Structure 1
């Protein structure tokens, strides 16, 4: 299906083309841009509602500012589709998030207009401030630096740290607070209530009108002098006391709130703010999903809905002939409720991902025992530690790649104190279309080196349930990691009775000859497929599912190294320091000699694509495993203490 841009949008390859238009034509550009995003995402997939909410802002920013010389930083990047389309990527936008296509997030290597690579939230203010300070040091005083951050991302500690610095840095930075009461799920916390008060307060709205009336009286067509800017600042501070405004208290000039969908107002406002030096914040109010009624109504569902019929709004699901296995996240979400009904000390914590982690089920059924703390992974972990000191059994559900942000807390606040927090690391391994910023490839290496830490990974849904059950038993008093992948498992009939698993004990899936395959987690299913394929070649490798990376099953590994001289390890994570590395360490420490080949994520940042494509790229899908077995068994000569990576 060929998708064509509208009359004006088709003439815009870069922002320089946009700036040739009149201000009166921008409304049409916005309409055409919004429809183009709807057309492409409905057919090809991707994030959706966030970009629709900032169409007017995107057009206004590129119209007013001299990008890419003026540097624009998008927080997270879910909302940057319009930005990509206006900056030379309209013709390839249909490849968004596809293997070998453009990234779903701003990426420095992709375009000079993508000034900072993003994917995780709350980094934009720090990055833009760093750019602004560098420009000042280089004497580029005319250069503008703009950070666009949502009110959800503003809840993170890093954003507050950056605001605190920006207020005293005297750098030329403009922070645009895009207030839509949403991240992926509805925002939570006191900041949300504060911003709601600002946007609905009659007093504040009168002050806002006074501010813009003052701006309107300034000479048209003339740039502010520093003296005029100082007088304006004094006037603003006379109308808004520091005690009444959080941002003014941090010495940021505050403007707004204004309608983020009024393109004319946005352009006029940004033109005025461009000429006011120093750190400043513009508060705009937008609607996530603006222009597509269903997305406006259910913003969480339409954050990234997949393919859909743009007319009816029906989300297109792939046909299936038999019951689909559940997603691992849903197994977690339903299992924690079962466990909590049996154990009144169980609580669930997530940093802003109740839908993505499926903790939403517990939040609906047991609202006092399941908490969304907002986009603040560090707080989520230390909060869990605090709860654990009082005897609570906390399941802290964090995406693997987001857990990196709370590493110090996991080490310092949980592990050193040996508190029995259960870390459920969702999206472990290669996650697919979100790409390098979201792959959960590093949790085994960064958790494995921490004392007191138990690290496990289920091969299927039943194993996930049993590991969750095991982690809350009275005898388990250490930090306990359970890592599992994004997407579906392998068991349609997954709701099995709970069984305790002995910590540090693996299992033999099948016996074999000449070669053993050791797997951890879901890729064990790839090994099962590979073994079925290898039967046709007359090959029968043994297969062991270790279940635990730490502690390793020493008895099982003694059996393996005593019986086999050729070994393959398989993991959905980084080879460097991961599961395979742990096996090599065991081999060296126990004076075994074997030829070992490690399959997993290589020492590289893997780009985006479907998970199956990426598993194949990295060589640990079923075909890659079978190929590795064939290659190792071609050479019958025993190779002592040789490691092949």
Structure 2
């Protein structure tokens, strides 16, 4: 590992105020030191790398020009904010990033006054910024509000809803479009940068206003031709017609790595009057670090890595990831069923569908960061007889809840939902936790909701979803590697609404829903060592419940414990409702649901999260013994034996 970088100028910056007192000719060197510091910090912790490297100069310029934290900077989605964190008093904690008790990987209001709005999901910044700008006006506290949004996030409808609203208002809002999907060739780039500086300055604005005054004195029939001529001439060089039509004053494209130009342009727009402004800054993801520049996708999010070689340190695994098992299983099914298509919302590699695309390039649809559209688009395909698999992370599917109900479930359309990252996600924290789909999908009539206990079960569930044409069906699976079980060559179609007994015993029944089954089996082994021989069952389905299995377990055991990697309102709640409705809680049965606590769980390792929730083997054993009436002394003695 390389030695810590030499950063004498950055060492003098404790807050952005120090940066604003620095001679501007020093800011280029400061940006270089900031980039080196970020690379070194992320190499220790892992995290998002490429996006932050692309906005180093922009971050320096923003804090040099604007009076933060009085002026508000909102980073959308937040993973580009590592340089911002370093400059805003959190440098000494950067090597705790995404670790238990450490800094969040995203912006967070509770973490710093320089984070005016928290973010983990994309496309919220313009809406939030507009709200802040209007609130400042009402409270007579004038300030600049700057929303920095990536080009990918601009594919979401919410961004345009906010721009449509902002364009009809006179709010003091500056939107910076961080476009890292294109480059500027030197001749064109120089011209565009010059024009951007020109049109952002007072001379151009004054000339433009004078021209408008002249046009107003022309005969009415010449007003529209004159307006179109001005618009065409401006958009010919700047390409800003779309944003102008939405009511924004457009500046750009500009080179987002040219610090001198960024400072000049931000100085100019800071002096604008009321009304929204959009600055189109072109940046390069991974800028300044060759491995990240050359492989933007692999260095978007990284594990710990060697700064010199760029090699990432990943622990070896003997088991495939759940995501890869989903992808290979779907490919198998698609090879024999030409009606299968795949839909993703800007996450082809994250969901494994990039592998599907290599084999079936005409049967995959990446709709951008637009989960609502993805679901209704899939519904449209299903209505015409196709078999769409809509692969979306649990946390992002929340954004399309109305579409799941209104466009899919009410119409009974057979859309297949592959729900990745279900349950705890570790270092990504509460914004990305997949804790809620059991509850929010379990509440919808007519849904089939499955959870894979291991990678073999996931393969069976892909086959089951393929065969199911009656209505919508979902299957959930977690982040990370599988259990290392033997894999079937092909998936088998499961009987809808039927679970399975994994281990037959007595007294205690452990009913697992999803991938906690491995820990449940380990807990059963520990209980067996105490002379207890629990039954272990895999529910497979939350909806419809296997009522026959649940009734049998309740009637033949003293204790029934459910486990799930989901929150309140999910599998345990459905089981409790069934038991209570059928009088199965009126006798000797002691029912204990284990689930994710009803709190927003902070970032930590997944193992720490399971332990804190009582969802590991130790927690399951403790719950079983407590339900049997063990007091603290008896519990301690029993646990000492195992």
Answer whether TM exceeds 0.5 for this pair: yes
- Cα distance in 2 between the residues matched to 1:233 and 1:349: 47
Q: Within 5 Å, which residues of 2 pair with 1:489-568?
A: 489-491=482-484, 493-568=486-561
2:113 corresponds to which residue?
Answer: 112
Which aligned pairs between 1:475-494 and structure 2 lie closer than 5 A?
476-491=469-484, 493-494=486-487
- Whole-Å separation in 2 of the counterparts to 1:280 and 1:445: 41
User: What's the TM-score, normalizing by structure 2?
Assistant: 0.91
Q: Which of 320, 333, 338 is the aligned partner of 2:332? A: 338
Q: Does 1:180 align with 2:180?
A: yes
| Distance across 2 between alignment mates of 1:459 and 1:554 | 19
1:603 corresponds to 2:603: no
Q: Find the aligned partners of 1:201 and 1:252 in 2 and give their Cα distance.
A: 27
1:213 maps to 198
**Deviation larger for 527-536 or 388-397:** 527-536
Partner of 1:185: none
Out of 241, 249, 254, the residue aligned to residue 245 of structure 2 is 249
TM-aligned CA distance change 1:232 to 1:588, over 3 Å: farther
Instruction: Sort the Cα spacing of 1:233 and 1:487 in 2 relative to 1 into closer, same or farther, 3 A.
Output: farther
* Contact 1:207-1:239 within 8 A present in 2 as well: no
Q: 1:381 aligns with which of 375, 379, 391?
A: 375
User: For 1:431, which of 402, 407, 425 is the aligned residue?
Assistant: 425
Say which SS state the counterpart of residue 566 (structure 2) adopts.
strand
- State the match for 1:192 in structure 2: none
Q: Does 1:284 align with 2:281?
A: yes
Listed one character per residue, the Cα deviations across residues 583-639 of structure 1 (whole Å, up to 9, x for unaligned) are 100101111123211111111000101111111111111111111112222359xxx
Say if 2:145 is the partner of 1:145: yes
Task: Write out aligned runs for 1:296-335 (5 A).
Answer: 296-318=293-315, 320=316, 324-335=318-329
Q: What is aligned with 1:263?
A: 259
CA spacing shift, 1:434–1:215, aligned 2, 3 Å = closer
In the TM superposition, what are the counterparts of 1:12-51 in structure 2 within 5 Å? 12-51=13-52
SS at match of 2:178: strand
Change in Cα spacing, 1:231 to 1:211, as seen in structure 2 (3 Å) is farther
Post-superposition offset of 1:524: 1.0
Partner of 2:629: 634
Q: Spell out structure 1 runs of 4+ moving beyond 4 A.
A: 1-5, 199-208, 214-219, 227-238, 241-244
**1:617 corresponds to:** 612
Which residue of the partner structure matches residue 157 of structure 1? 157
Once residues 334 and 624 of structure 1 are traced to their aligned partners in structure 2, the CA distance between those partners, rounded to angstroms, is 34
* 2:584 counterpart of 1:592: yes
Structure 1 unaligned residues grouped into runs of 5+: 182-194, 637-645
Distance 2:71 2:169 in 1: 19
- The equivalent residue for 1:641 is none
Distance 1:262 1:202, change over 3 A: closer
Does the alignment pair 1:398 with 2:392? Answer: yes
Please give the root-mean-square deviation of Cα atoms over the aligned residues, in Å: 2.3
User: How far did residue 492 of structure 1 move?
Assistant: 5.5
Q: Residues 113 and 546 of structure 1: is their aligned pair in 2 closer, same or farther, counting only changes over 3 Å?
A: same
Q: Which moved more, 1:229-238 or 1:70-79?
A: 229-238
1:104-124: CA deviations, max 9, x gaps? Answer: 000001111111010000000
Distance 1:592 1:164, change over 3 A: same
Which position in structure 1 is the counterpart of 2:99? 98
Contact 1:453 1:478 (8 Å CA) reproduced: yes
CA shift at 1:545, angstroms?
Answer: 0.7
Match of 2:71 in 1: 70
Distance of 1:495 and 1:17 partners within structure 2: 62
- Asked if structure 1 preserves the Cα contact closer than 8 Å seen for 2:59 and 2:83, the reply is yes
Aligned to 2:450: 456
Task: Give me the TM-score of the superposition, normalised by structure 1.
Answer: 0.91
1:497 CA displacement: 2.7
CA contact (8 A) 1:533 1:626 kept: yes
CA contact (8 A) 2:240 2:251 kept: no
Question: Residues 229 and 276 of structure 1 are in contact (CA less than 8 Å); yes or no, is this contact kept in structure 2?
Answer: no
